[in-house]
Amino acid sequence: MDSDDELAACLRDGDEKALRAAYDRYGAAVLYLAQRMLSSRADAEDVVQLTFVAAWTGRDGYDPRRGTLLAWLLGIARRKAIDRMRSAARDDRLTGIVRAQPVPQQEAERPEGIVDRLVVADELGRLPAEQRRTLQLAFFDDLTHPQIAAVTGLPLGTVKSHIRRGMASLRQRWEVDGAASGSRSTGSSRIR
Query: What sign does the CA torsion over 177, 122, 53, 59 have?
Result: positive
Q: Shortest CA distance to 12 belongs to which of 77, 61, 84?
A: 61
Smallest separation, CB 144 to other proteins (Å): 5
What's the CA gap between 53 and 51, in Å, rounded?
6
Instruction: Give burial (CB, 10 Å; 0-12/13-18/19+) of 177.
Output: buried
Strand ranges (E), the chain: none
Per CB under 8 A, 45 contacts other proteins: yes
> Which stretch in 3-11, 16-24, 67-75, 179-187 sits in contact with other proteins by CB under 8 A?
16-24
Q: Shortest CA distance to 112 belongs to which of 37, 57, 26?
A: 37
Chain residues 101-130 in contact with other proteins, contact rule CB under 8 A: 101-104, 113, 116-118, 120-121, 124-125
Per CB under 8 A, 91 contacts other proteins: yes
Smallest separation, CB 176 to other proteins (Å): 13
Query: What is the binding site for other proteins (CB under 8 A)?
Result: 14, 16, 19-20, 23-24, 27-32, 39-43, 45, 48-50, 52-54, 56-60, 87-88, 91-92, 95-104, 113, 116-118, 120-121, 124-125, 135-136, 138-140, 142, 144-145, 160-161, 163-164, 167-168, 170-171, 174-175, 191
